[in-house]
Structure 1
């Protein structure tokens, strides 16, 4: 059994196949960068959401929690950003606009939905590109394989007698493109599915928090004393 020297096989391939292999290698590196970045972002988002919601459910006055969030506005994410936008809209509507409880909570809910969608958009920004890499990499690799095999057979045209030993190296070189294509695609497919599952979980988690907060705002909207908002 002979050892496979990938560098030697790469150097023996045609210029087009070399270009295809380099593209696939770049796709693989980029996909792993996206996988690591998205995994860390989702993990951080879950931790931050849990930390803020523990404060939210601790019995602290919502006005105090709002002031704390306002002081670090530029660093707000996830559940805290949803809370801040909803509470701000609720207070402003109560002071300057609608007085009906339904109007107050509906305005806050609309604002929170916008914040939620923005948070999800930021978190899943690079995931679709990961799906693109997973989809096209095998086809790019297959194209390289077909071109490599064609090149190998065309080079045999000037030879009168051929054998398997003469064809095998050229075919092996061509098949590298398929192997590298799968090497780029398989981790991307697995990560794409896994990250989407985590995104769905986190989005539902945000929506549950938003609904919980709307219930609390609705209760306070009907309260007689709306100047002091307590949980």
Structure 2
């Protein structure tokens, strides 16, 4: 074996393993790398968005409790979930009291609770929209990598049968590229699972904050209905 052949046989760098793999294993590796990039893009985008929304909601709550007039807060609609919730509650309050006055107090309370809960549900649904992609990548990527592993090992055994040679130099490249496919599968899956769980936790915390704000706002409007303000 000349020096060039020896170098090719012993080169186990990631790039060399990719080049030595057949088209099936290459397709698996490329697909897993694209899935990893996709999951990281989702994680970064959702993390930034949740950080900004959490800051905006906290600031809105502070302004809400210090505001002398609720009309001063109407401009936050469309900027963050708390602003949308407040706008939905105020719109329903104005529509209900204008139509029925204070005659149907329980009906007004029920409608207020309904529209504010619907606003929360819409916000959480929007934020959770791409988390299913992370869950899918986290659960499927290891099995896709395992498929590449099985395929590579199968090729190694075929090489053994064709050459009648069981030396490590014959089987090592196929086994190495097979294990490399598994490693890429884990590389894609692990961040996706961690990102999914972390983002889900942050969304749940935001939902709890919005629910608490909704309850306080609803109680304030209920006192207004009873004339206790």
TM-score of the superposition, structure 1-length normalised?
Answer: 0.90
Instruction: Kindly state the Cα deviation for residue 167 of structure 1 after the two structures are TM-superposed.
Output: 1.2
Instruction: Kindly state the Cα deviation for residue 3 of structure 1 after the two structures are TM-superposed.
Output: 6.8
Any runs of at least 4 consecutive aligned residues in structure 1 with deviations exceeding 4 A, and if so which? none
Correspondence 1:152-191 to 2 at 5 A:
152-191=156-195
Matched, 1:60 2:60: no
Q: Gaps (5+ residues) in structure 2?
A: 1-9
Instruction: Kindly state the Cα deviation for residue 156 of structure 1 after the two structures are TM-superposed.
Output: 2.0
Aligned to 2:114: 110
Matched, 1:218 2:222: yes
1:82 to 64, 85, 93: 85
1:150 to 133, 151, 154: 154
TM-score of the superposition, structure 2-length normalised?
Answer: 0.91
Q: Gaps (5+ residues) in structure 1?
A: 225-230
Query: How far apart, CA to CA, are the structure 2 residues paired with 1:181 and 1:63?
Result: 53
Query: How many matched pairs?
Result: 219
The answer (yes or no) to whether the contact 1:102–1:218 under 8 Å persists in 2 is no
Query: How far apart, CA to CA, are the structure 1 residues paired with 2:83 and 2:18?
Result: 51
The answer (yes or no) to whether the contact 2:93–2:108 under 8 Å persists in 1 is yes
Query: How far apart, CA to CA, are the structure 2 residues paired with 1:125 and 1:65?
Result: 28
Matched, 1:6 2:14: yes
* Structure 1 or 2: more helix by fraction: 2
Query: How far apart, CA to CA, are the structure 1 residues paired with 2:63 and 2:105?
Result: 25
Query: How far apart, CA to CA, are the structure 1 residues paired with 2:179 and 2:101?
Result: 69
Query: How far apart, CA to CA, are the structure 1 residues paired with 2:199 and 2:34?
Result: 21
Query: How far apart, CA to CA, are the structure 2 residues paired with 1:46 and 1:3?
Result: 49
The answer (yes or no) to whether the contact 2:20–2:173 under 8 Å persists in 1 is no
- SS of 1:151's partner is helix
* More off after superposition, 55-64 vs 178-187: 55-64
